[in-house]
Amino acid sequence: GVFSALDLARGLAAIGSELEAARTGADQTRVRAAMKTLEVVPTCKPANALRQAFSTLIDSRQNAALVTNDDGTHNLITPRCCLQALAEGVSADCTVADFYAPRGGPVEQALREVAPELPLLDAAAIMTERTLHHLVVMDPKTSRPMGVLSSLDVARAIASMQSQRPFASLGWLWACKGPSTCTVW
């Protein structure tokens, strides 16, 4: 089966009194603890063709690729972009920059930005209010991206609050080749 954000919402609603504990934990946990760092977030350039950007997503087993420019501007390519391109008849050879040109620039980009010290609960509220599944975590010193936070990262962090085992990112899990190489457990 597929685990979605709706499944998370249903689960949180069903746990009743435990919801307050999850909310408290998410308010005390910072985005930095749950985000994927740039080491595991795939990247592409605005000049890349959509075909290449979407292949990057598939090859990396991630749901977002950070589109970075040398001047620090950025955006995200996600499976939703693939669906938009398909529905709108956009050529797979179209560049990422041309795909995003009619979809907003710096304003849209700023709506996705969060600070690493933001409480996870606030990041979840931003995702909910703006209907976003991914946020770009910005380094406050350099004003450059330092990671990406997804709705699944939020769900994983909340679920791990009730677990005896520490939070593990998908990047870490993919790197883990078995119990002998997974020393965290």
Sheet holding 65-68, edge to edge: 43-44, 65-68, 74-77
- Whether residue 160 contacts residue 40, with contact meaning beta carbons closer than 8 Å, is answered with no
Residue 117: how many other CB atoms lie within 10 Å: 10
Q: What is the pLDDT of residue 171?
A: 47
154 pLDDT higher than 50? yes
**Cα–Cα dist 15/12, whole Å:** 5
Q: What is the pTM of this model?
A: 0.74
Residues written for the chain: 185
- Per-residue model confidence (pLDDT) at position 89: 92
The confidence band for 155, taking pLDDT boundaries of 50, 70 and 90, is: confident
Closest CA to 63 of 48, 85, 83, 41: 41
Average pLDDT, the chain: 78
Quick one: three-class SS letters along 83-106?
A: HHHHHHCCCCCCEHHHHHHHHCCH
pLDDT band, very low/low/confident/very high, at 185 (cuts 50, 70, 90):
very low
